[in-house]
Chains A and B, each alone.
Chain A
Amino acid sequence: MIPEIGNFALIVGLFLALTLGVLPIIGAARNNAVLMGVARPLAAGQFVFLGVALLCLTYAFVANDFSVLYVAQHSNTQLPTIYRISAVWGGHEGSLLLWAFLLSVWTLAVALYSKHLPEEMVARVLGVMGLIAVGFLLFMLMTSNPFDRLLPAAADGRDLNPLLQDPGLVIHPPMLYMGYVGFSVAFAFAIAALLGGRMDATWARWSRPWTTVAWVFMTMGIALGSWWAYYELGWGGWWFWDPVENASFMPWLLGTALMHSLAVTEKRNAFKSWTVLLAIAAFSLSLLGTFLVRSGVLTSVHSFAADPKRGIFILTFLVIVIGVSLLLFAWRAPKIGLGGKFDPLSRESLLLSNNVLLSVAAASVFIGTLYPLFMDALGQGKLSVGPPYFEAVFVPLMIPMLLLMGLGPLARWKKVDAPELARRVRWAFGAALVIALLLPLTMGKWSVMVSVGLLLAFWIIASVSLSLRERLAGRDDFMQRLRGQSLSYYGMQLAHLGVAVFIIGVTMVKGYETERDVRMDVGDVLNTGGYEFRFNGVTEEQGPNYVAGKGHVTISKDGKVVTELYPEKRQYNVSGMPMTEAAIDTGLLGDLYVSLGEPIPDSNGAWAVRVYIKPFVDWIWAGCLLMSLGGVLAISDRRYRIHNKRLAEAKTEMPLEEKTA
């Protein structure tokens, strides 16, 4: 009964979305207040019904209703309850439902927090989001309904993939999806601007916080996924350039470009067409990501399904969305215009180069990810593009971008006096250079790549400090000056610091990690990286739905015990799948990482063991966290909260930087 209610709720949701996608947009075109007025209630209704559908599916999982095919495929009576809930998005159908539900959450959020927006704008934005929901709900109902029955019901389910039975995987997909789906708001704002033919600084101020929120979710989602891969896949890597990782990374890169381009549109009324194009591209790549992951054309951990009908549906959907938006863009963009003028050396041009480099980086990831697909489709044989490709392309693109990143926040709008800027930054750059050259020596090994990485990181840190000093130092009250800066300024600097922390993590891990795969007999001691790893053997242990071989490794340094690690090798009862659970000692300056390979036959309890030392690896995720916090600070800025009419109508205000500079 409950699954039928869920199915029914989905169908009602589809009709509400359809109405939402049609009436308000017509209303906006005809200036009909009644038609525009239905947008908000419809958004609320869509949220309620999709919420009911999601709850019904969750109920089916918690109550072990194996007469639902999807539940039978992804759950089991032995599965702990928390993983039964996360199993809701552990497969194709359920993750689509989550997608659609989150879209309704964003739609509702726009409906609630848009009281200060002109009515036709709200109607168009909500309408476009309704149309996107129509696409997804149709897809679900036609090709992948999570409520399909399995009759007769299975006695027990097939269990959730053990890889997904992990706290990180409980929150990683919802976070990432919030990001993916969140770009639909920026997209809807862009389409609304094209439809209305009106786009100015006010428009940018409206869509900017939405883009930033989506970006924050996406950053956290990707970071969580990377962290999960690090500790769960059991081989200590944190980024594999796996097609599905790339699928989330491409919209992230364009989303980052979009945030910066929106800043220019808000402050300087420039880059307008470009901003619209970026918003369209970022969301298209989010859709493409969903397509790549869910259609099963890519071979990866994440690909659930390989059903050509689904692939064709998403491909058609993709073509319609991208095609219509680009047509609309070609037709209406000339009306929007390019916007304000600026010099070849100015904050605008620095942000432009940021945008170009990020877009080119996204394009290069795109080529590397899809090249095997194209070649296969053209009958050129199967091939794969590995991490070396991405590193060879990505690093040379990021180096100039990160160098410019230090300059951007220090440069003025419109026109920069080059000698003056050079004079301001010379000490900061010099200090970064000296640290970058000398610091690797204290680590015992000097290499060019480490120095370059550290130079980029310390250059950003120095530039952030310089900017803070220029703004905060002075004869008058320090506290007053501290408060005088906008939250979005602090947000930007914090996010940039996050990038620096991230680079330090990546550089140190790449430069100084130790990876040893060894055979260890009981009682064997391995000396590496200044630590002693003593292997005390493996004992058997019973988990809730698995049997584990639990290893015991004692790590000591200079004769003193540092920590005891207990890596596991699990065998899941239902699926029979083996799983490696690494044991990690996390520290500020690095991780000690031990995971069990396999038992060695014909020996006395010997195992193949991975022993890794990963210096500064946690800085990678700490950096992502700082970037996200920076985003949160930026959207907490006063100017997004003051929604009085006077402010909303003021088209361009004096840029803050010029007042204080």
Chain B
Amino acid sequence: MKAREKRFLFIAVGIAAVGLAVALVLNALDKNVSLYFTPTQVFNNEAPHGRSFRIGGLVEEGSVKREADGLTVNFAITDTHKRIPVVYKGILPDLFKEGKGVVAQGSVGPDGVMQADEVLAKHDENYMPPEAADALMKAEAANAAAASAVSAPAAASAVK
């Protein structure tokens, strides 16, 4: 094989490999990205139907209820503005607690309840998942914009 043909072969194989990799990456990204939404956005129907996404916020105080099987848990995620009920079957993370930040992944059915297949609470007591903090901040801004008399002390202290 001549040097020129050789070089051509290397370049062709290289381009093919990179092209394949790009196709793989784009395809996988398209299928496996999950978007974050705040409870208010989900309430306003901004979240996709029939597709998995994430909600961030706080576990609403007094909302955690267990079913008799001991594994199915009902709770609500709130941004202190709107609340979305969540059902999860499985063992919750150690730091899952009422009034603390949480992120749940799953899809919301026509009844407005999220069937979660993953619940994340981060590994530090004082740590707030940015998505949860973000949801609280947006809700607070919305509240302020509506000139609502209802203040959001929980949100204010949580965002700190």
Residues on A facing B (Cβ under 8 Å): 161, 163, 234-235, 299, 301, 341, 343-344, 349, 353, 356-357, 360, 363-364, 367-368, 371, 381-386, 388-390, 392-393, 396-397, 517-519, 575-580, 597-598, 600-601, 603, 606, 608, 610
Contact = CB atoms under 8 A, between A and B. Distances in A.
A393 B28 contact: yes
B123 A163 contact: yes
A341 B34 CA distance: 47
A518 B90 CA distance: 8
A577 B28 contact: no
Closest 3 CB pairs of A and B: A519-B70, A597-B91, A392-B28
Contact of A364 (B24, B35, B70, B91): B24
Nearest to B124: A161
A383 B123 contact: no
Contact of A386 (B32, B69, B124): B32
A603 B125 contact: no
Given A598-B91, A608-B91, A610-B91, A299 B25 contact: no
B36 A517 contact: no
A344 B32 contact: no
Nearest to A302: B123
Interface of B: 1, 3, 6, 9-10, 14, 17-18, 21, 24-25, 27-29, 31-36, 54, 56, 66, 69-71, 90-92, 94-95, 122-125, 129-131, 134
B19 to A, nearest CB: 11
B125 A392 contact: no
A591 to B, nearest CB: 18
Given A344-B1, A575-B125, A299 B130 contact: yes
Contacts of A344: 1, 6, 9-10
B29 A368 contact: yes
30 contacts: A161-B123, A299-B131, A344-B6, A344-B9, A356-B14, A360-B17, A360-B18, A360-B21, A364-B25, A368-B28, A381-B35, A384-B34, A384-B54, A385-B32, A386-B34, A388-B31, A389-B28, A389-B33, A392-B24, A392-B28, A397-B24, A517-B71, A518-B71, A519-B69, A519-B70, A576-B125, A577-B94, A597-B92, A598-B92, A600-B70
A384 B27 CA distance: 15
Contact of B29 (A299, A367, A382): A367
B29 A371 contact: yes
A368 B131 CA distance: 18
Nearest to A304: B124
Contact of A397 (B21, B90, B134): B21
Nearest to B38: A382
A388 B32 contact: yes
A343 B6 contact: yes
B35 A382 contact: yes
Given A384-B36, A519-B71, A579-B94, 18 more contacts: A161-B124, A235-B91, A344-B1, A360-B21, A364-B21, A371-B29, A383-B33, A389-B28, A392-B24, A393-B21, A519-B69, A519-B70, A577-B95, A577-B124, A597-B92, A600-B66, A601-B66, A608-B70
Contacts of B6: 343-344
A235 B118 CA distance: 13
A577 B121 CA distance: 12
A384 B29 CA distance: 10
A577 B123 CA distance: 9
Contacts of B123: 161, 163, 301
Contacts of A301: 122-123
Nearest to A342: B6
Contacts of B34: 383-384, 386
Contacts of A384: 33-34, 36, 54
Contact of B94 (A356, A371, A578): A578
